[in-house]
Amino acid sequence: MATGQKVAVYGAYGHTGRFVVAELLERGFVPVLSGRDASKLGELAAAHPGLDARPAAVDDPAALDRALADVAAVINCAGPFATTAAPVIEAALRAGIPYVDVAAEIEANLDTFAHFADRAREAGTVIVPAMAFYGGLGDLLATAAMGDWTKADEAHVAYGLNSWHPTAGTRLAGAVSHERRGGRRLRYTDGRLEHLDDAAQTLTWSFPGSAEARDVIGDFTMADVVTLPSHLPIPEVRTYMTVEAARDLAAPDTPAPTAVDEAGRSAQTFVVDVVVRSGGEERRAVASGQDIYAVTAPLAVEAVDRVLSGRTRTVGVASAGAVFDAGDFLSSLSDHLSVDLHR
């Protein structure tokens, strides 16, 4: 349990940001509320008397510096991260504090590794991009499944969502990514990302615990194609999404998530099935739970807790599986996730 350390949450009033604020409070941290919209920030602060609200636009370095003054770390929950990540990372580097974000945007995560790896390493600080359901969780599962393997031939990450009611932030971030890649889709193959113009195929995937195979979109590429190859020698990384979730995301009239419990979680359920293969051997790690946005909060906050308490393996820009003990990290999330390793 934290001892009153201040952690800034940029985009605190957003859907995921609110979950992160609640998780920080639950674990004894003191959230410092920040973001671009002063009005929304004020409303959130009114609901949490005693918490400091510090508005800051991403194009105002002085305001960002004030937002990160006297805090121990920052969690960036404000998309699109193509716009917010670099300015908030710059501010974190000026403040000399670790940075964690929940970016699912492939291009934004690539930018973070490309532009900040050397500076963060030289500063001796930790920057963890994609510390979320997409990118971070898959990376932890793949790293844990690898066990004593030092390399693998391929990794497959299949997302078994029963539905996907996207937030406004998800829709905006997706639009930015779509525009940046010129409407093409991505695949990680032969150790590199390639852009494709053809339509993705529909395949079937047998999720553990499911009586029947489910239809999935092949090469429904997510942030795992950045996080896994950043530290695991795996030349083929493929990700898949259940057809019903992909349809929800694509439909313009799919509503935003609706809370069904006191924690604010939606009724959405998920299974993440990760398979790594080397030669003729196969290893597997499976996680299941409720609400992809809600589960992002304990992932991000646990990451901050471990960084601040020195439970890290490296400095610089690093994905979850590189900077943390993957198996131990996943075990710490037992209140939020069910995890099974099959080695």
* CATH number, domain with residue 232: 3.30.360
User: What's the token pair of residue 59?
Assistant: 């194009």
User: What's the token pair of residue 87?
Assistant: 């300015």
Write the pLDDT tens digit of every residue in 226-239: 999 999 999 999 99
Mean of pLDDT over the chain:
96
Report how far residue 240's alpha carbon sits from residue 218's, in angstroms, rounded to the nearest whole number: 5
Taking alpha carbons only, the member of 246, 291, 287, 288 closest to residue 266 is 291
User: What's the token pair of residue 275?
Assistant: 């398979």
303, 202: one domain: no
CA dihedral 80, 240, 264, 307 (to 10 degrees): -70
Distance of alpha carbon 206 from the chain centroid: 25
User: How many domains in the chain?
Assistant: 2
Write the pLDDT tens digit of every residue in 260-283: 999 999 999 999 999 999 999 999
pLDDT for 2 beyond 80: no
Is residue 1 one of the residues assigned to a domain? no
148, 175: one domain: yes
- Mean pLDDT over 3-15 rounds to 95
193, 267: one domain: yes
200, 304: one domain: no
- Mean pLDDT over 188-201 rounds to 94
Domain ranges, residue 141: 133-292+335-342
35, 20: one domain: yes
Residue 303 has, within 13 A of its CA and on its CB side, a CA count of 33
228, 179: one domain: yes
Write the pLDDT tens digit of every residue in 314-337: 999 999 999 999 999 999 999 999
pLDDT of the residue at 343? 63
Answer yes or no: pTM beyond 0.95.
yes
pLDDT confidence band for 95 (50 / 70 / 90):
very high
Write the pLDDT tens digit of every residue in 124-155: 999 999 999 999 999 999 999 999 999 999 99
CB-based contact 246:4 (threshold 8 Å): no
110, 230: one domain: no
For the chain, what's the residue count? 343
Is residue 207 one of the residues assigned to a domain? yes
